[in-house]
Amino acid sequence: MSLSHDTSAGITSSAPSSGVVAPGLLGRVKRMLLAPGTEWLRVARENTTPVRLFCGYVMPLAGLAALVALARFSKTVHAPLASALAMVALTLGFEVLAVYVVARIINVLAVSFRGLPSRNQALKVATYAFTPLWVAALFIALPALSVPMLFLAGLYHTYLMYMGLKVLMKSPRDRALGYATTVVLCTIILYIVFTQISVGLGESLHLGRFRAFG
């Protein structure tokens, strides 16, 4: 099956009401965290463009997380303003790239787990499954809470991925868990690579051992 099977027919068959408009940012975050089952069904029916996903969801949440990381980092390292801004830009850039790459992985693996390839639906899954990770990043400034919150967020990220792959990528229940686990493992490897790159860039920007993620 071709990966270009991102047709409207494929999406329509799984979401008859494709004209549904996405809700506001805070409403989506709240329902994705508290009522993911019904929220994924709503997401499947939405006609959302990649530009809207990145500009209206990924960048605001990832940007907020980057600013919190900057605030924590600034307490220990007094970096020039230009370097600090570069840190925020790097962190945000890595987050955006991570969502894009994970979406591609989801789409490429769909057939292997008896799912229906769709680049648009895969991007939705990747975007909204990252929600708990971005929310948990807000606790980075609180050392006592940051580690447990990030751990719980990682578990919930896997759960959201599992549910999203079932609903949007049409992976059967008996294959969706393996699908989600594979995608999450690829995500972890991706973040490790990005972290190592950010350390090297941090040195060149006089930020010490700056790490984009934690």
CB atoms within 10 A of CB 71: 11
* pLDDT tens, residue by residue, 77-115: 666 667 677 777 888 888 999 999 999 999 999 999 999
Task: Give the structural domain span for 132.
Answer: 8-204
Distance, in Å, from the CA atom of 136 to the CA atom of 161, rounded to the nearest integer, reads 16
- The count of residues in the chain is 214
Residue with tokens 């294959």: 175
Does the structure show a pLDDT above 50 at 3? Answer: no
Distance, in Å, from the CA atom of 37 to the CA atom of 93, rounded to the nearest integer, reads 30
Decide if 19 is inside a domain. Answer: yes
The residue with greater pLDDT, 81 or 30, is 30
Residue 141 contacts residue 71 (beta carbons within 8 Å): yes
Decide if 210 is inside a domain. Answer: no
Decide if 128 is inside a domain. Answer: yes
Decide if 103 is inside a domain. Answer: yes
Decide if 56 is inside a domain. Answer: yes
Decide if 211 is inside a domain. Answer: no
Decide if 16 is inside a domain. Answer: yes
- For the chain, the 3-state helix, strand and coil shares in percent, each to the nearest 5, are 75, 0, 25
> pTM of the prediction?
0.82
Total structural domains within the chain: 1
What's the confidence (pLDDT) of residue 69? 73
